[in-house]
Amino acid sequence: MQMLPDSMQNFTPLVQSVAQSNALITVSQNGYIIYQKEVPPGPFTIADLQLSGSGSDLDVSIKEADGSVRSFLVPYS
């Protein structure tokens, strides 16, 4: 049996949604941006977040090509 390093043992939430156009996805935790990525239109999943140990919810914003912004929270504790 192989032991995983601590960084691989922690639970990491998935961020899933749908971009209506080319969009910039921003994930923040405790007011700090921890992840940004441009995605094409359609469904997306972010599974490779590097989270702090604070266990605070994730604030996700989706900025569409027309400038509109949608936001939602992903619970994380």
Which residue stretches of the chain are H helix?
6-9
- Give the least confident one: 7-11, 18-22, 40-44: 7-11
pLDDT over 90 (residue 4): no
More confident residue, 54 or 13: 13
Q: How confident is the model at residue 72 (pLDDT cuts 50, 70, 90)?
A: very high
The CATH number for 13-71, chosen from 2.60.40.3110, 2.130.10.10, 3.20.20.150, 3.40.50.1220, is 2.60.40.3110
Q: What is the pTM of this model?
A: 0.82
Q: Tell me how far apart the alpha carbons of residues 49 and 47 are, in angstroms, rounded to a whole number.
A: 6
Across 24-28, 34-38, 46-50, 65-69, least confident range: 46-50
Average pLDDT over residues 40-49: 95
Domain extent listing, the chain: 13-71
**What DSSP character marks residue 67?**
S
